Structure 1
Amino acid sequence: MQILVTGGAGFIGGHLAERFARDGHSVVVLDNFDPFYDLDIKHHNAEIGREAAEEDGGSYKLVEGDIRNAELVTDLVADADYVYHQAAQAGVRPSVDDPRKYHEVNADGTLNLLDACRDEGIERFVMASSSSVYGVPQYLPYDEEHPTTPVSPYGASKLAAERYACAYGEVYDFSAVALRYFTVYGPRMRPNMAISNFVSRCLNGEPPVLYGDGTQTRDFTFIEDVVEANVTLLEEDAVDGEAVNIGSTDNIAIKTLAEEIRDQLAPDLELVYEERHDADAEHTHADTSKASELLDYEADHTIREGVSKFIDWYQENQAWYEPLVRRS
């Protein structure tokens, strides 16, 4: 199959591109190499994708460009059977400072892809949405019927993008699916996330820093589980026009997470608390029963299992990865 992965040099997109190449598909990656975090991680992701193609018989092509470039997007979609749209302007907190950029990339950029998909007649459009679309919980865990009232420009832009995707799929008769990810983590993750920061600080004898009192809870999803959900959509036909939660089996308080990482790596350290950011969600927790029903999805990693696996990977790859975390 011919698969276009937007944002394919990023964290989730990089893992998807690698997997598709290993499975023998022809993969084209579109990424604008936005310097939101250290670009050496993106270059590393691209190199792994190339190696996967060479080792396992797929093909891998990297195109440096932006989803806001409608002409480029149209040219790339014309050759694709499937589009896996992972490109986005990430970050809840920074979106408060520059909301228009988040709309331009996440909403308008998605519309460029959808216009091209409509015109070219692709097999399926799969996009990365976010638990940020839910906003303040009226109940937990979030199911897909929960009101979508995002509290950050990032969340609003992701909701606009997924609603456009599902609407286009409905009125223009092509398959579109939005996967609402719940805080994805794992090897090669974005370095400015809580888990990577906690691990890095503990390995360097520095206390983990928590924003707020640490009672906030998160549903963290291991990258391998996210990849499996996406791969299923190369075959599964029962999800057209749907938004589907992709989460873990449970959630965990940020303080508990920091303590568990600390206890594994540097038990003598004390936690440090700083002021909480207003745009941060208080709690997230995914109801994944819809994903189970439609995609036969089941997270294979509890949060504790996944974090332990990430710590092992981090220590094995510390020489190249940690300097990038430290300067992000």
Structure 2
Amino acid sequence: MRILVTGGAGFIGGHLAERFVRDGHDVTVLDNFDPFYDTRIKDHTVEICRDRAEAGEGTYRLVEGDVRDAELVAELIDDVEFVYHQAAQAGVRPSVEDPRTYDAVNVDGTLNVLDAARDTGIERVVLASSSSVYGKPQYLPYDEAHPTTPVSPYGASKLSAERYACAYSEVYDLPAVALRYFTVYGPRMRPNMAISNFVSRCLNDEPPVVYGDGTQTRDFTYIDDVVGANVTLLSADAADGAALNIGSTDNIEILTLAEEIRDQLAPELELEFAERHDADAEHTHADSSKARELLGYEPTRTIREGVAEFVEWYRENREWYEPLVRAS
């Protein structure tokens, strides 16, 4: 298959590109190397993908550019069969300060992808959405029928993008699926996330910092499970036109997570607490039964199992990864 991964040097997009190359596909990656976090993590991802391609698996092509460049997007999509649209301006908190950039990248950029795709007979567009579209929970776990009332510009931009994708599927007969990710983590994850910070601080004999009182809960989803759901969409058409939750079906209090990482790595440390940001979600918890029904999706790691794997990976890659986490 010929596959375009936008944002394909980032965390999720990079893991998708690596998997597709490993599986023998011809992969084109579009990424603008936005320094939202240290781009050396992206450089490392690109190196891994190139090594896989040089080993004779699939092929890999990197294009440095932006999804806001409609002409470039159309040129790249004209040459592929599948589009995995992972490119986005990330970050809930920064979106409060600069909502227009989030609209330009996450909404207009997505429209560039969709407009190009509907004119080429593309096999499928798979869009990365987010649990941030739900906002404040009226009930948990979230199912896809839950009201979507995002409380941040980031969440609003992701909801707009997925609604456009589903509308294009309906009115232009463009096969498109939106996957609502629930706090994805794992190797090469963004360095400013709770799990990477907790692990880094504990390994450096510094207390984990919990924002708020720690009673907030998260459904953390391991990267391999997210990749698996995306790979299924190379052949499954049952979800075309739909938005699906992709979560672990489990959740954990942030305080409990911090304590368990602390107890495993540095039990003598005391936790520290800092002010919680208003835009941060209070709770997330996915009902992934729709993805199970349509895609056969089954998460393979509980949160505790996935965190243990991440800690092991962190130790093995500490030399290059830790300085980037520490600088975030």
**What TM bracket, shorter-length normalisation?**
over 0.9
Alignment of 1:241-320 (within 5 A): 241-320=241-320
SS across alignment from 2:55: helix
SS across alignment from 1:96: helix
What is the deviation of 1:53? 1.7
Q: Is the Cα contact below 8 Å between 1:18 and 1:53 reproduced in 2?
A: no
Q: Report the counterpart of residue 139 of structure 1 in structure 2.
A: 139
What is the deviation of 1:56? 4.5
Q: Report the counterpart of residue 217 of structure 2 in structure 1.
A: 217
Q: Is the Cα contact below 8 Å between 1:21 and 1:56 reproduced in 2?
A: no
* Deviation by residue 1:161-209 (Cα, 9 ceiling, x = unmatched): 0000110111111200000000000000000000000000000000000
Structure 1: tracts of 5 or more residues without a match: none
What is the deviation of 1:55? 2.2
Alignment of 1:151-170 (within 5 A): 151-170=151-170
* Deviation by residue 1:196-243 (Cα, 9 ceiling, x = unmatched): 000000000000001100000000000000000000000111111000
Q: Report the counterpart of residue 3 of structure 1 in structure 2.
A: 3
Alignment of 1:56-135 (within 5 A): 56-135=56-135
The one-letter code sitting in structure 1 at the alignment partner of 2:158 is K
* Deviation by residue 1:81-125 (Cα, 9 ceiling, x = unmatched): 000000000000000000000000000000000000011110000
SS across alignment from 1:8: coil
The one-letter code sitting in structure 2 at the alignment partner of 1:75 is E
Q: Report the counterpart of residue 47 of structure 2 in structure 1.
A: 47
* Deviation by residue 1:34-91 (Cα, 9 ceiling, x = unmatched): 0000000001011111112222420000000000000000000000100000000000
Whole-Å separation in 2 of the counterparts to 1:145 and 1:170: 18
Q: Report the counterpart of residue 321 of structure 1 in structure 2.
A: 321
Q: Report the counterpart of residue 34 of structure 1 in structure 2.
A: 34
Q: Report the counterpart of residue 189 of structure 1 in structure 2.
A: 189
Whole-Å separation in 2 of the counterparts to 1:262 and 1:308: 12
Whole-Å separation in 1 of the counterparts to 2:56 and 2:322: 29
Whole-Å separation in 1 of the counterparts to 2:133 and 2:47: 33
The one-letter code sitting in structure 1 at the alignment partner of 2:284 is T
Whole-Å separation in 2 of the counterparts to 1:72 and 1:206: 46
SS across alignment from 1:250: coil
- TM-score, normalised to structure 1, is 0.99
* Cα root mean square deviation, aligned: 0.5
Q: Report the counterpart of residue 228 of structure 1 in structure 2.
A: 228
* Deviation by residue 1:280-315 (Cα, 9 ceiling, x = unmatched): 000000000001000000000000000000000000
Q: Is the Cα contact below 8 Å between 1:22 and 1:55 reproduced in 2?
A: no
Whole-Å separation in 2 of the counterparts to 1:51 and 1:219: 33
Structure 2: tracts of 5 or more residues without a match: none
- TM-score, normalised to structure 2, is 0.99
The one-letter code sitting in structure 1 at the alignment partner of 2:225 is D
Percent of aligned pairs sharing the same letter: 78
Whole-Å separation in 1 of the counterparts to 2:237 and 2:38: 38
The one-letter code sitting in structure 2 at the alignment partner of 1:11 is F
Whole-Å separation in 1 of the counterparts to 2:51 and 2:164: 35
Whole-Å separation in 2 of the counterparts to 1:225 and 1:49: 19
What is the deviation of 1:249? 2.8
What is the deviation of 1:246? 0.2
Whole-Å separation in 1 of the counterparts to 2:249 and 2:111: 33
Whole-Å separation in 1 of the counterparts to 2:301 and 2:42: 25
The one-letter code sitting in structure 2 at the alignment partner of 1:45 is T
Q: Is the Cα contact below 8 Å between 1:22 and 1:56 reproduced in 2?
A: no
Q: Is the Cα contact below 8 Å between 1:203 and 1:265 reproduced in 2?
A: yes
The one-letter code sitting in structure 1 at the alignment partner of 2:5 is V
The one-letter code sitting in structure 2 at the alignment partner of 1:21 is V
Whole-Å separation in 2 of the counterparts to 1:111 and 1:33: 20
The total of aligned residue pairs comes to 328
Q: Report the counterpart of residue 25 of structure 2 in structure 1.
A: 25
The one-letter code sitting in structure 2 at the alignment partner of 1:86 is Q
Q: Is the Cα contact below 8 Å between 1:137 and 1:283 reproduced in 2?
A: yes
Whole-Å separation in 2 of the counterparts to 1:55 and 1:23: 12
